[in-house]
Amino acid sequence: MKVIWTEESLEKLSAIEEFISTDSPERAEIIVDYLVTKGESISENPKMGRIVPEISNPNIREIIVKKYRIVYKLSEKNIEILTVFEGHRLLRIDELKAD
């Protein structure tokens, strides 16, 4: 399956990198690269993530990577990464808008 990063998810990654880079640009790049690698790895086992508790839809899942939640949607052909955010927050429905 192909992994597609939505505009929302790319914006979130950019914001994460910008925030971390205020302390360490090198660390920011490492963390974002790690998040992207983990997001891409979902293609190897699309049902590896748990169903997002706030939604209870079996096609909307998430993996926890470090302190971040990567939320994705399964379809027959693709995996859409919908958003990435800090794990202590609850998912907001507006973060699920796919491109």
E strands, 1-99, are 2-5, 50-51, 60-65, 68-74, 78-86
Q: Using the predicted structure, report yes or no on whether residue 98 has a pLDDT greater than 90.
A: no
Per-residue pLDDT, 91: 76
Q: What is the CATH T-level fold of the domain 2-94, as seen in this structure?
A: YaeB-like fold (3.30.2310)
Q: What are the boundaries of each domain within the chain?
A: 2-94
3-14 confidence digits (pLDDT tens): 999 999 999 999
61-86 pLDDT tens trace: 999 999 999 999 999 899 999 999 98
What's the CA gap between 83 and 6, in Å, rounded? 8
Give the per-residue pLDDT at 96: 67
Residue type, 89: R
State how far the Cα of 79 lies from the Cα of 16, in Å rounded to an integer.
22
